[in-house]
Amino acid sequence: GDSVTQMEGPVTLSEEAFLTINCTYTATGYPSLFWYVQYPGEGLQLLLKATKADDKGSNKGFEATYRKETTSFHLEKGSVQVSDSAVYFCALSADDKIIFGKGTRLHILP
- Residues of span 47-86 touching another protein by CB under 8 A: 49
Q: Binding residue for another protein (CB under 8 A) from 19, 47, 99, 106?
A: 99
Q: Is 104 in the site for another protein (CB under 8 A)?
A: no
Using CA atoms, how far apart are residues 71 and 84, in angstroms rounded to an integer?
26
Residue 46 in contact with another protein, rule: CB under 8 A? yes
Q: Residue 55 corresponds to which amino acid?
A: D
Q: List Cα–Cα distances, 79 to 13, 23, 58, 60, 61, in angstroms.
A: 10, 19, 14, 11, 8
Residues that bind another protein (CB under 8 A): 4, 32, 36, 42-46, 49, 89, 91, 93, 95-103
